[in-house]
Structures are given as structure tokens and as C-alpha cells.
């Protein structure tokens, strides 16, 4: 498996028989002639760009898996048959791929993909969106909602995960990642390779998280994402 960090929450995963593109915003998309599955977790511009429809080149099989909050009118008419609009807490079977969705704590869905015997999780905007200065009731409600949703990942052996690590949350930037690890399990099988995302190009949060003594058991599984275009062989 080859994983390429594109930008922000955008990742490209190349498997033996197909490729997966998650939450493309902008940047260089790796080129491949393999069948492509394009995922967009919700309509926010930093997670969905109509530029992805240019990946539907002649002779290439492409499917678009889009959260239902993305209007069908944003999909070129000639590609609408290739689009699947998904909602939270559903499962879907596609050619060679099984998909389950989680409900975001912001907009849209998170994806849990099974393909070629691998399980891949992309959080979208499912995160513990706790903010300094927000009312306590809001932060408490957010934490509860996030942790309850992550229960759907308990007992799952996740090979690759893409999880927010957002520096805008200041002292609480680590909560989403921390609770993800707690749900997935501390052992390596629970979450083997975890890629931070949603960092707004402030990659200092990666060594900050990994260097926190409390997270020393998680640190070896958090990938050192430093710049767009990085390629990881797994």
C-alpha cells in the first residue's frame, strides 16, 4: 500500500487493484490508470472540490462516493451515474469495496473502507471540536457525541487511519486523536498507521503530539507528516 499526503485532509491511497482519493481540496493528485474511488466526506470547501471530476478520464473506471449534503447539481450530468450519495450509519457494497459510514460531529460523514483485506478509516470532520472560550455545555456535548460515535470503531483492526490534529484548538488540539486511539485500542492491531490531517499546514502539532509523555504508546504509530507530496510505503 502506498499513501500520499496531498494537502490538509486530502490523501491518496494506492492498493494493488485500485486507488482511493479522500477529501481532495487542492494540490497534486498522484497519477494512476487503476480504477479510482473518490470520497468526499461533506461539502465544506476544504474537503470537497469539483476538480475531482476531472479524474474521470476516458477509459478509466471512477466512482464518486459523496456525502448526501453535497448537492447532485455539483456533479457533472454525464458523471451522475458514477456518483453514490451516502448518509451516516449505513453500509454500502461497491465493486471490490465495502463501505460503512459514521456521523460527523460537524457536517457529513466519516468513512470506514474495507478493500483487499485492508481496513481504512478517514474521519472527515468527525472530531472532538472543543474550543477554548466556548460554553462548557457545548464542549461537554461535543466530547460526548464524539466518543459515542467512536464506539463504532471498537474492536475493528484498522490498518490505516486519517484523523484530525487541528492546531486551531490550542490546548485541546490532541483530543480527537487521543480519543480515537482509546476507541481503536492501544495495541498496534487497533490502529496500525495513523496519519494526522486537518492541520492547516501547521505540521508542528505532529511532533508535539508524539512527544507528549502521555501518548508514548501511540507515538510509534503516528506518521511523521511534514509536507504535501510525502509518500509512505506501508
| Residue among 127, 70, 64 at smallest CA distance from 99 | 64
Q: How far apart are CA 83 and CA 25, in angstroms?
A: 18
| CA-to-CA dists, residue 157 to 19, 58, 120, 165, angstroms | 21, 36, 9, 21
Domain boundaries, the chain: 2-233
pLDDT of residue 187: 60
216 grid coordinates: 508514548
Q: How far apart are CA 193 and CA 30, in angstroms?
A: 20
Cβ–Cβ under 8 Å, residues 55 and 29: yes
Gap between the terminal Cα atoms of the chain: 5
CB atoms within 10 A of CB 209: 19
pLDDT of residue 186: 56
Whether domain 2-233 has CATH 3.30.160.620: no
- pLDDT tens for the chain, 234 residues: list them: 999 999 999 999 999 999 999 999 999 999 999 999 999 999 999 999 999 999 998 889 999 999 999 999 999 999 999 999 999 999 999 998 999 999 999 999 999 999 999 999 999 999 999 999 999 999 999 999 999 999 999 988 999 999 999 999 999 999 999 999 999 875 655 688 999 999 999 999 999 999 999 999 999 999 999 999 999 999
Cβ–Cβ under 8 Å, residues 124 and 108: yes
Edge-to-edge order in the sheet of strand 118-122: 91-94, 97-103, 109-115, 118-122, 158-164, 191-197
115 grid coordinates: 478493500
Consecutive H or E run containing 181: helix 175-184
Amino acid at each position: 500500500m502506498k499513501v500520499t499526503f496531498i494537502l490538509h485532509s486530502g490523501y491518496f491511497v494506492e492498493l494493488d487493484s485500485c486507488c482511493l482519493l479522500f477529501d481532495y481540496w487542492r494540490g497534486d493528485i498522484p497519477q494512476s490508470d487503476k480504477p479510482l474511488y473518490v470520497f468526499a466526506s461533506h461539502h465544506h470547501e476544504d474537503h470537497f472540490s469539483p476538480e475531482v471530476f476531472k479524474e474521470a478520464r476516458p477509459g478509466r473506471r471512477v466512482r464518486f462516493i459523496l456525502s448526501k449534503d453535497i448537492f447532485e447539481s455539483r456533479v457533472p450530468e454525464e458523471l451522475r451515474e458514477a456518483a453514490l450519495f451516502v448518509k451516516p450509519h449505513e453500509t454500502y457494497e461497491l465493486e471490490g469495496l465495502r463501505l460503512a459510514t459514521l456521523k460527523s460531529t460537524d457536517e457529513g460523514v466519516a468513512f470506514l473502507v474495507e478493500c483487499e483485506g485492508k481496513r481504512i478509516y478517514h474521519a472527515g470532520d468527525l472530531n472532538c471540536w472543543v474550543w477554548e472560550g466556548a460554553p462548557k455545555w457545548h464542549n461537554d456535548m461535543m466530547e460526548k457525541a464524539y466518543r459515542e460515535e467512536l464506539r463504532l470503531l471498537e474492536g475493528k483492526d484498522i490498518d490505516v487511519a486519517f484523523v484530525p490534529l487541528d492546531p486551531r484548538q490550542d490546548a485541546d488540539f490532541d483530543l480527537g486523536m487521543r480519543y480515537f486511539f482509546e476507541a481503536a485500542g492501544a495495541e498496534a492491531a487497533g490502529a496500525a498507521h495513523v496519519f494526522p490531517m486537518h492541520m492547516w499546514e501547521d505540521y508542528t502539532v505532529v511532533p508535539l503530539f508524539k512527544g507528549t509523555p502521555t501518548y508514548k504508546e501511540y507515538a510509534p504509530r503516528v506518521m511523521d507528516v511534514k509536507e504535501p507530496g510525502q509518500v509512505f510505503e506501508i
